[in-house]
Amino acid sequence: MKFKKLLFSFIILLFSLNNYSCPKIKGILIDACSTREELNEWMVLTTDTAIVVNNLRIDYDANNNSGGTVNADVTSGGCSWRIPRTSSIDSLKINSLYNSNIIPISPGGTIPANSTILVLTSDSMNFAYNITNLTQYGNVYVIQSSCKRNTGAFTNLGNGANYRLTKIIYNTCRDSVWHYIGNSAVNGHYGVRNRDTMRISYGNIFTSSCNEYMILPIELVSFIVNCDLIEFITANESNVEYFNIETSIDAINWITLDNIFPKNYFNNITTYYYPNPNLGQYFRLKEVDFDKVLYSDIYFAKCENIDELYELYNLLGQKIEDINLPSGIYIKKYKNKTIKIIK
């Protein structure tokens, strides 16, 4: 009987966890602007479920908690959420277009599902950031810590360990990101999470001068390759100029199947479909932004007719098209074999 009760409790717990969605860290302003950088740092979260502000905790790296409770974690170490200062909200609105989309959320408030959240890590943020590249896609919900920080929440230079860990905890789930600290000495440096990994690595720290947009790139939710169809889903396409779907036989030499232009203008989940011509068995998505180029992971999909792909050569070793060929001898080169044909 006890076993049945324990099993039932475990099933209920498992069900609740599997149906619970966590907010995620998407980007961190690692090297803030102004002479008081510790007051002007922030990070960007996204959530696909509604969240209650009071239930959200921020756990900074232990190295960034030094200096007393003014530099503590939020809701678990001496700091809490406060009503966002009017002066902090006004500073965000000064240089940002669509500034009516900047919405302060007080303690006890609820942030709706499918939202972008800007977390101000001190109670005195006062730099006039331009966040148009967030506000142009919809509402940006701003929450603010009560911490009167005298040291930064995010390290941008340092010796020893090259990464610092930041965690967010919401009810029973959490999200964590390690960010690289070894190469940021320029105000406005921001880090973008490596897709669905736990790292903001060296190559994902970008420069944005303090009076320009703070840009966060595409969030690739999934990339699925079937033998007849390629499907990819995005949740954010800020700054994307276009996508290339690329394929390869050997994962070294890539060809572009098509250019696809973004259509996600409102920070929503967007699905794209493209017919799979079966020209290779490796696939990736190339994201061409207005200021950089990023690649997805490489995906493998072997379909039955991939082995039928070949290149055709004449006896002079010249590659030719298999169209309206005159009589003669030709060489067919497949991936795993070469045969001679007589026409």
What single string gives the DSSP state of each residue in 236-268? Answer: E-TTEEEEEEEEESSSSS-EEEEEE-----SS-
State yes or no: pLDDT of 49 exceeds 80. Answer: yes
State yes or no: pLDDT of 57 exceeds 80. Answer: yes
Give Cα 162 to chain centroid, integer Å: 21
Tokens of 132: 């148009």
Query: To the nearest whole number, what is the mean pLDDT of the chain?
Result: 79
The model carries a pTM of: 0.63
Q: CA 66, CA 88: separation in Å to the nearest integer?
A: 25
Identify the pLDDT of residue 105: 97
Residues 6+ apart with CB under 8 A from 19: none
Q: State the residue for tokens 């070793």.
A: 317
Identify the pLDDT of residue 3: 38
Give Cα 3 to chain centroid, integer Å: 43
Q: CA 263, CA 240: separation in Å to the nearest integer?
A: 10
State yes or no: pLDDT of 193 exceeds 90. Answer: no
Of the candidate CATH numbers 3.40.50, 2.60.40, 3.30.70, 3.90.1580, the domain formed by 219-300 belongs to 2.60.40
Q: How many residues does the chain have?
A: 343
Q: CA 250, CA 268: separation in Å to the nearest integer?
A: 34
Identify the pLDDT of residue 167: 93
Q: How does pLDDT run across 258-305, given as a tens digit for each residue?
A: 888 887 655 567 889 998 888 888 888 888 877 677 777 778 877 755
Q: How does pLDDT run across 127-138, given as a tens digit for each residue?
A: 998 887 788 768
Query: What are the domain boundaries of the chain?
Result: 22-206, 219-300, 309-342
Which H helix or E strand runs over 318?
Answer: none
